[in-house]
Structure 1
C-alpha cells in the first residue's frame, strides 16, 4: 500500500489530471472498476494536497465569505477545473483552476450578500408590520396597577 501511495505522489501533475478526468468524466460511474475509482480518488487527493494552500489563498482573498461555504465551493470549482482542463494546451492547471475556483467563490459571495439583503429587508419590514401591535405594559400603566 505504501508503494501505491508513493507512486501517486511521484506522478506528474498531468498524469494525475488524466487519472482524475477518467473518473470524473466517466459517463457511467458505476461502470468504473473499484481500482479505477480508488486511483481517481487518490489522484484527486494528491492534486488537492498540492493545491490546498493555493485554494485557501483564494478563499482568504475574499474575507467576507463564510469559510465552510467558501471551502466547499472552492473544492467544487477545483473539481470542475480538473474535469474540464484541456491537457493539450500546455497551460498550467492553476491558470484554469483560478477561473473555476474564483467563479465558484463569486457565486457563494453573491448568494451570501443576497441572503443578507433579504434578511435586512425582512427585518426592516417586520418591525414596521408588528410595531403597531406591540404594547408596552409600562406605557399603559398596567404593571403599576394594584389588583
Structure 2
C-alpha cells in the first residue's frame, strides 16, 4: 500500500501500455464525443486529421485507467483536487499504443490535515514512436503512514 511518504519528488512511475483500435475509438465517440472525425472513417478522411482519430477525452480516460490500475488503486489516495493542465498534443489513431508515465513534481504535508499530504503529478502518454500525445497535471490527496502523521491530542473529558 502506497502512502504519501512513498511519493518522492522526481520519482517516475511507468503506467503500462494500451493499444487503441478503430472499434475502441468509435465506441467511445458514440457515447461521449460524437464528432464525425471520431465516428466515421469517411468523414474523418475528409477532415483536417486525414483519418479517424481518438477523442482527446478518450485518450485521457485510457491514461487515467493506467494511472489508477498501476499506481493509485493500491494506495491511500483520497481523491483529487482536479486537473491543473490537460493537453491533447498529437492525434491518436487506430493501432496507436499509449504508454503512460507519471512523475512526482511536488509533495507536501497538507497544511490543515496532518494525517494527509498532497502530491502533484505530471502524467503523460507517448505513442509507439515516442511522441508525447497527452499531458495532464493533477494534485491528489494521500493518507500518511501512522508513524509520520502527528498524533492528535484527545480533548480532556473532564472539563
The TM tier, using the shorter chain, reads under 0.3
Larger radius of gyration: 1
TM-score, scaled relative to structure 1: 0.26
> Which structure has the higher relative contact order (CA within 8 Å, separation 6+)?
2
TM-score, scaled relative to structure 2: 0.24
Q: Which has the higher helix share?
A: 1
Q: Which has the higher strand share?
A: 2
